[in-house]
Structure 1
């Protein structure tokens, strides 16, 4: 649908409003409803959107350590761009028109704060090198009975999952809440976030779903929208969904694994597949993995952005803690999946469900391209057996504080993403470390449970 056709459709829509949204640094969508006449003007002219979305944290508390915006700037409007290619209708809101946007017209925010713009830059670099990246994110998340108000009023003391027990791949549990599961699958499809599959995972009230793969920007859009859509659909069943990395120390965490491959410009040839090479993995795929291994410790906050993220990365319970790769090995951080001409890919298992998909995908792609550009050899042996038990020399940073300092001092991070982004992002992660409240055992739930 071109711009003329789209504007005609919006003008003649029964809806008087359009919903627009922009991701903040945590991957939380911040947006508003606007009159469709204002939308029509904004398509060409852009529109102002308060830059406070880059000046506060996930709980709307203003940063005191960043330069790009704050009380010292007066929180002015940033020039926002609505991307008409993201058009979809919200089936649980009477098909209200919806669009995503970013700040790629405003250089100040493009370089430092706008995660969607960062992904667009990395994707453009990949295409300039002759590679079309196809990505997908799969999510695990827990679902609870009640409303946000009820859960908050009870101080998160008596959380009730929608199903009991540890029952992965359960047909019974999906039947128990069949209306919810049906709405997830059907409404996400109508919302143009189609699922490849969905099932229960091991744990009370936990579900896993994989979004069908797409070119990287569309894949990240769908991943961001998936989380918001799941939460909104859950509300309509009197449930609350959480994408926290580790909401309960006694249960497995929630992953946000990223599947990825590079294709040629015709989009017909998977460049990771080579039938005559070892394990049918091309030299390009091995260089990509080598790049991930080289860069991962220095850009880890983009995959594990919150203090809570590191409780998941403890080794065991399906979450890696080692700088490892393996052939179809789910205990390694990087799982190589050699298959056929279409299915050969890499699964990055470090990210949790709490990630900003734009940042996590940008980090994966940039690191992989780093390996290709520098022709890195995959000298690290593939992990055999339990990679959780690899030697201490291969451990990833075990806290956001340590990981953030490493990224802030990293020449590689600056090379991959630019100093403006690295400076701003690491300052926001330093702030996040300062929000830890050792005197409140439920501070993580209060901070991340519903919002992240």
Structure 2
């Protein structure tokens, strides 16, 4: 919608407030409700927002190792801009108008720590190369019969899942929570986050949803909105939804796989498809795939951004551990799918459901474009059988500290995303590791308290 159309909509519907939000470095939506006049007044030059949102972690503890903001700057306001193209209404909140924002500027001087602004920069590069990038992210998550209060009272122990048993693809299990199940599908569609599919996964109380594919920036917007929307809808049913990558060691983790393809600008031709190839793969797709394989060690922290992410990336748990690719192989890091021209695509399987979609998608697209720009050959053979045993091209780093350190020192990462972003992002990941490393865990207490 244009500025005039939005203003006319507010007038016709007699709406006096709007809601907007943006994603911080962890992908957490931060925002507020503002009066319609403040909204209208800020459409040209933006809205001031305290830049502490890029100076603290997901628990609102201020970083002591970043320079973008801090006590040394006084945590000033920075201008954020609402993207009118993201307009939608929130059907479970009386259809209040909602917009996404980012910290970009009309002149292109974007805040280098802003995830959405970073993705917009990568998308612009893709468009300059003549591509329309089509993406979709899918998510698995656990549902619990808990609230924020009960979890605190129980010290996050004896957590009760929404349903017992494994029951992947169960029709029975979804019928037992049909109100929640159908609210997810129907309300998300009204929220312009249309699902391609929704079902149970293997594990107690686990759902999986595939979001319908879209232009890459819109796809990332929908992925970011999906996670918060699911939490809000779940809460209305007395359910807590968690997108932790691995909440317990005895069950599989939760993925956030990214599907992607490149098309002509008019969207008439899938540039990943070549009927003359034995596996229908074009040279463009091969270069793109080679780029992702080559860049993977340099950007792993963007796919696996939390300490917990690496608990999911273990053998035999439906998540990759090696730098591999294969045809329809769910043990490889990158999975090539070519059922038809329309649906030929690449699935990047490293990301968990705990990813910041803007950053994970930016990593995937930038890495693929790097392969195309540099005409990287696909000289790694596809994995046949178990990707866990195919270590000839290396294994993924086993923890956030090593992944973040690799990225911090990587010339490739700095070429892809700029030194400013790489320095800030990796420092936030190293901060995350530092918080974890100084914490005494239940495992340590049980193992050492009495016997050592």
3-state DSSP of counterpart to 2:320: coil
Partner residue, 2:363? 363
Matches within 5 A, 1:151-190: 151-190=151-190
3-state DSSP of counterpart to 2:423: helix
3-state DSSP of counterpart to 1:278: coil
Return the offset for 1:441: 3.0
Instruction: Confirm whether residue 102 of structure 1 aligns to residue 109 of structure 2.
Output: no
Return the offset for 1:197: 0.1
Return the offset for 1:440: 2.9
Return the offset for 1:148: 1.1
**Partner Cα distance (1:227, 1:209) in 2:** 11
Partner residue, 2:449? none
8 A contact 1:112–1:422 mirrored in 2? no
Return the offset for 1:259: 0.2
Partner residue, 2:51? 51
**Partner Cα distance (2:80, 2:361) in 1:** 22
**Partner Cα distance (2:2, 2:391) in 1:** 55
Return the offset for 1:339: 2.3
3-state DSSP of counterpart to 1:262: strand
Return the offset for 1:16: 2.3
Partner residue, 1:193? 193
Matches within 5 A, 1:250-329: 250-329=250-329
8 A contact 2:246–2:254 mirrored in 1? yes
8 A contact 2:103–2:111 mirrored in 1? no
Partner residue, 1:439? 440
Structure showing greater relative contact order (alpha-carbon pairs closer than 8 Å, 6 or more residues apart): 1
Instruction: Confirm whether residue 382 of structure 1 aligns to residue 393 of structure 2.
Output: no
Partner residue, 2:448? none
8 A contact 1:274–1:280 mirrored in 2? yes
**Partner Cα distance (2:408, 2:71) in 1:** 24
Report the TM-score when normalising by structure 2.
0.96
- How many residue pairs end up in the alignment? 443
Return the offset for 1:442: 8.9
Unmatched tracts of structure 2, length 5 or more = 445-452
3-state DSSP of counterpart to 2:141: strand
Q: Alpha-carbon deviations, 1:386-430, whole Å to 9, x = none?
A: 111223752111110001110011010000000010011000011
**Partner Cα distance (1:36, 1:274) in 2:** 51
Q: Alpha-carbon deviations, 1:329-357, whole Å to 9, x = none?
A: 01100000012121000000000000000
Report the TM-score when normalising by structure 1.
0.96
Root mean square deviation, CA, Å: 1.5
Return the offset for 1:17: 1.4
* Deviating 4+ runs (over 6 angstroms): 106-109
8 A contact 1:79–1:106 mirrored in 2? no
Return the offset for 1:153: 1.4
Partner residue, 2:403? 403
Instruction: Confirm whether residue 121 of structure 1 aligns to residue 145 of structure 2.
Output: no
3-state DSSP of counterpart to 2:388: helix
Partner residue, 1:234? 234
Return the offset for 1:187: 0.3
**Partner Cα distance (1:320, 1:61) in 2:** 32
Return the offset for 1:12: 3.1
Return the offset for 1:111: 4.6
Check 1:147–1:82 CA distance in 2 against 1; reply closer, same or farther (3 A cut). Answer: same
8 A contact 1:156–1:442 mirrored in 2? no
**Partner Cα distance (1:111, 1:52) in 2:** 13
Range moving further from structure 2, 383-392 or 360-369:
383-392
**Partner Cα distance (2:326, 2:386) in 1:** 10
Q: Alpha-carbon deviations, 1:106-153, whole Å to 9, x = none?
A: 889835200000000000000000111100000000000022111121
**Partner Cα distance (1:107, 1:265) in 2:** 24
Matches within 5 A, 1:142-153: 142-153=142-153
3-state DSSP of counterpart to 1:352: coil
Partner residue, 1:352? 352
**Partner Cα distance (2:429, 2:109) in 1:** 18
Range moving further from structure 2, 220-229 or 2-11:
2-11
8 A contact 2:323–2:391 mirrored in 1? no
Q: Alpha-carbon deviations, 1:265-317, whole Å to 9, x = none?
A: 11111000111112001011011000000000111000000110001011221
Check 1:365–1:256 CA distance in 2 against 1; reply closer, same or farther (3 A cut). Answer: same
3-state DSSP of counterpart to 1:269: coil
3-state DSSP of counterpart to 1:142: strand
**Partner Cα distance (1:387, 1:77) in 2:** 48
3-state DSSP of counterpart to 1:89: strand
8 A contact 1:140–1:243 mirrored in 2? yes
**Partner Cα distance (1:402, 1:267) in 2:** 40
Partner residue, 1:3? 3
**Partner Cα distance (1:268, 1:62) in 2:** 48
**Partner Cα distance (1:341, 1:272) in 2:** 8
8 A contact 1:289–1:371 mirrored in 2? yes
Matches within 5 A, 1:7-86: 7-86=7-86
